[in-house]
């Protein structure tokens, strides 16, 4: 872009900000309900809605109440819901077999939602951490997270989710080569239309803390995830990972966390032009919500501004715990 040397009247930028109507005319980005994917936590039982202490306003729901929430989300026009299971500690094992149990919590929730709210797309999480005795996303052998053996397990998990009716598979494990193997398996099983939204650039972030409480993984986790999740210092590496996952068959890609990584979102969108999503993660949500609950910020305005930032950075959509509240605001 050439620097503009304009005569004085043209430098009156405030002309374009003079009223809501004019501001609307020149607005470059918009936040709509189509941009939202709503992550929800599911737990065992019936009629249960239990608050997650580190995420004020967020609850874990039993399957029947997830079903109800999905019906409401569908009515609000939210296009997709993403399921995360709070798995009973007694089901966590070294071989993580619960992960591909066709009747595990997550797969029961998928079926219930597809049955009750068929127009909302159901996204899943593929990683072993809810089922792993040591809280890691992959198998741990002699203190190492082993890649290829984990990928085999992730493929079984993927097929169980697709069989249950999942529309979008979300590998969040950061193992190498999993997208290609998952795509091959889905094709082989007649699930050609099941999409893969790859958590392609997922950083080893402290912003996931509240989520690990929500799914009951904090207590289990030994060590950190730095040998598979990305170093927050890197940016070129994110582009190489995104390219790799798109080549292996991902339909959409994700950057995670969101707000601290908007520079990555912009680079990814500019480089590939593929459907690009950001995850406004649990720690981002908790920070905004905590400050709002203390009366230190206007929670509603900060929520909308934080989500608009993703659009401005080039994202096609955002996974956000705020989804129903945003949808309500945008509708009203
Ligand atoms: C697990 C997973 C995590 C999140 C989504 N899937 C946590 C982690 O990698 O430890 C984080 C979501 C959030 O913080 O909101 N594979």
Question: DSSP characters for 266-313?
Answer: HHHHHHH-S-EEEEE-HHHHHHHHHHHHTTSS-HHHHHHHHHHHHHHT
- For the Cβ of 221 lying below 6 angstroms from any atom of ligand 1, the answer is no
pLDDT tens-digit profile of 91-120? 999 999 999 999 999 999 999 999 999 999
**Secondary structure (DSSP) of 180-219:** HHHHHHHHHTT-TT-EEEEEEEEB--GGGHHHHHHTT-TT
The Å distance, Cα 178 to ligand 1 centre, comes to 17
Percent of the chain beyond pLDDT 70? 97
Instruction: Report the chain's mean pLDDT, rounded to a whole number.
Output: 96
Mean pLDDT of 188-193: 98
Annotated catalytic residue: which of 114, 225, 256, 311? 256
Give me the mean pLDDT over the 196-220 stretch.
91
Predicted pLDDT of residue 218: 73
**Residue 306, ligand 1, Cβ within 6 A:** no
Q: Residue 205 — pLDDT band, cuts 50, 70, 90?
A: very high
Mean pLDDT of 135-152: 96
Residue 134 is assigned to a structural domain of this protein: yes
Q: 144 in a domain, yes or no?
A: yes
Residue 7 has pLDDT above 70, yes or no: no
Its pTM stands at 0.96
Tokens of 75: 């009515």
- Is 16 inside any structural domain? no
Residue 216's pLDDT is what? 80
Active-site residue, 202 included = yes
CATH assignment at residue 173: 3.20.20.70
Answer for the pair 310, 258: CB distance below 8 angstroms, yes or no.
Answer: yes
* Domain presence at residue 277: yes
Evaluate whether residue 248 is within a structural domain. Answer: yes
Rounded to whole angstroms, how far apart are CA atoms 154 and 158?
6
Give 190-196 contacts, CB < 8 A, sequence gap 24+. Answer: 191/159, 191/162, 194/162, 194/166, 194/167, 194/168, 194/169, 195/167, 195/168, 195/169, 195/251, 195/252, 196/168, 196/169, 196/170, 196/171, 196/249, 196/250, 196/251, 196/252
In the predicted model, is pLDDT for residue 4 greater than 90?
A: no
Task: Among 208, 216, 318, 321, name the best residue to mutate to test ligand 1's pocket (greatest count of ligand atoms within 8 A of Cβ).
Answer: 208
What residue owns the CA closest to ligand 1's atom 11?
208
Most ligand 1 atoms within 8 A of CB, residue of 40, 132, 137 to mutate: 137
Helix H or strand E segment including 50: strand 49-51
Q: Do 33 and 76 meet the contact criterion of CB atoms below 8 Å apart? A: yes
User: Is 24 a domain residue?
Assistant: no
Six-digit token string for 154: 């992730």
Count, residues in the chain? 332
Q: Give the range of the structural domain holding residue 63, as residue numbers without chain letter.
A: 31-331
Number of domains in the chain: 1
Among 39, 96, 129, 203, say which to mutate for ligand 1: greatest number of ligand atoms within 8 Å of CB.
129
Within-domain flag for 23: no
Establish if 309 belongs to a structural domain: yes
Please give the pLDDT value at position 244.
98
Would you say the CB of residue 208 lies under 6 angstroms from ligand 1?
A: yes
């Amino acid at each position: 872009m050439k620097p503009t040397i304009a005569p004085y009247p043209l430098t009156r930028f405030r002309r374009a900000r003079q009223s809501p109507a004019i501001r609307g005319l020149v607005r470059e980005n918009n936040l709509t309900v189509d941009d939202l994917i709503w992550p929800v936590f599911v737990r065992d039982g019936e009629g249960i809605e239990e608050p997650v202490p580190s995420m004020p306003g967020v609850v874990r729901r039993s399957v029947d109440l997830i079903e109800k929430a999905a019906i409401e989300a569908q009515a609000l026009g939210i296009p997709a819901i993403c399921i995360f299971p709070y798995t009973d500690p007694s089901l966590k094992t070294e071989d993580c077999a619960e992960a591909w149990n066709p009747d595990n919590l997550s797969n029961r929730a998928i079926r219930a939602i597809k049955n009750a709210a068929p127009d909302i797309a159901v996204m899943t999480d593929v990683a072993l951490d809810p089922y792993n005795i040591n809280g890691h996303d992959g198998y741990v052998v002699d203190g190492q997270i082993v890649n290829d053996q984990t990928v085999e397990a992730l493929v079984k998990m993927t097929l169980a989710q697709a069989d249950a009716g999942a529309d979008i598979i979300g590998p969040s494990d950061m193992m190498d080569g999993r997208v290609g193997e998952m795509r091959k398996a889905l094709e082989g099983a007649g699930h050609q239309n099941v999409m893969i939204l790859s958590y392609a650039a997922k950083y080893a972030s402290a912003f996931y803390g509240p989520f690990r409480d929500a799914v009951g993984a904090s207590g289990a986790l030994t060590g950190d995830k730095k040998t598979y999740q990305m170093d927050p210092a890197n940016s070129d590496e994110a582009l190489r990972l995104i390219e790799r996952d798109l080549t292996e068959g991902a339909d959409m890609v994700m950057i995670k966390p969101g707000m601290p990584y908007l520079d990555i979102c912009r680079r990814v969108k500019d480089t590939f032009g593929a459907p690009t999503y950001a995850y406004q993660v649990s720690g981002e949500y908790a920070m905004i919500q905590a400050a709002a609950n203390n009366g230190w910020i206007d929670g509603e305005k900060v929520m909308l501004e934080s989500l608009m930032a993703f659009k401005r950075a080039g994202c096609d959509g955002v996974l956000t715990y705020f989804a129903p509240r945003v949808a309500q605001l945008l509708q009203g």
